[in-house]
């Protein structure tokens, strides 16, 4: 009985996770996070030590500013408010 309950619960949770991930807003946020994660590999830390952080962050931040000025606002990629 417990085994059947666990299988049913697992199936229900998998279905619920699929529903949440299929929402446009969630897909937009996940896509944004994937893009920012790729930037980490493309803009590696500089080998020099700095008291207030690595200067490579300036390059990363500049890229973020450039992309955000070229594209519509972040919230438009999240979909209608009722889907959030």
**pLDDT bracket for residue 5 (50, 70, 90):** low
Q: How many structural domains compose the chain?
A: 1
* Residue 78 is assigned to a structural domain of this protein: yes
* Residue 32 is assigned to a structural domain of this protein: yes
User: 59 is in which domain, residue-wise?
Assistant: 23-83
Determine what percent of the chain is predicted with pLDDT higher than 70.
75
* Residue 15 is assigned to a structural domain of this protein: no
**pLDDT bracket for residue 4 (50, 70, 90):** confident
Query: DSSP secondary-structure letter at 12?
Result: H
pTM for the model stands at 0.50
DSSP string of 52-72, one letter each residue: TS-THHHHHHHHHHHHHHHS-
pLDDT tens readout for residues 33-66: 888 889 888 988 888 877 778 888 888 888 888 8
* Residue 9 is assigned to a structural domain of this protein: no
């Amino acid at each position: 009985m417990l085994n059947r309950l666990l299988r049913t619960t697992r199936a229900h949770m998998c279905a619920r996770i699929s529903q949440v991930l299929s929402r446009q807003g969630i897909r937009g946020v996940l896509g944004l996070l994937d893009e920012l994660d790729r930037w980490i590999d493309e803009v590696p830390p500089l080998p020099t030590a700095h008291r207030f952080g690595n200067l490579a962050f300036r390059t990363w931040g500049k890229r973020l500013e450039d992309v955000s000025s070229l594209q519509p606002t972040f919230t438009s990629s999240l979909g209608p408010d009722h889907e959030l």
